[in-house]
Amino acid sequence: MQVEREYHGISLQVISNYLVELGGTMISEDYVGGEGWSATLRKGEPVILGALQFATVHVHFKDDATVLKRLLATFDLRMIRPGG
């Protein structure tokens, strides 16, 4: 299973920290792996709204469908935040 997500207003570092907190191991700055899943992170073009600029991060999740569905259910709750 593969899932691609795009997040705005949160840094690549914060997202990778969330993934580590959910049981992953940071392999490199842009790659986190866990048991039955992996995530590749990539910075995107920032979103500009007037004077405001928001970071964009693309996350490509892959591996075991059952494990990945559980991970994403928990991860999605982490990504719900004010202004996001």
Whether 81 has a pLDDT exceeding 90, the answer reads no
* CATH number assigned to the domain comprising residue 68: 3.30.1370.80
Q: Is residue 73 part of a domain?
A: yes
Q: Starting at the edge strand that comes first in sequence, how are the strands of the sheet with 52-63 ordered?
A: 2-8, 52-63, 37-49, 31-34, 25-28
Q: Is residue 59 part of a domain?
A: yes
State how far the Cα of 37 lies from the Cα of 14, in Å rounded to an integer. Answer: 18
pLDDT tens-digit readout, 24-67: 999 999 999 999 999 999 999 999 999 999 999 999 999 999 99
What is the pTM (predicted TM-score) of this model? 0.89
Whether 84 has a pLDDT exceeding 70, the answer reads no
**Domain carrying residue 50:** 2-79
Please tell me the total count of domains within the chain.
1
Q: Is residue 84 part of a domain?
A: no
pLDDT of residue 80: 86
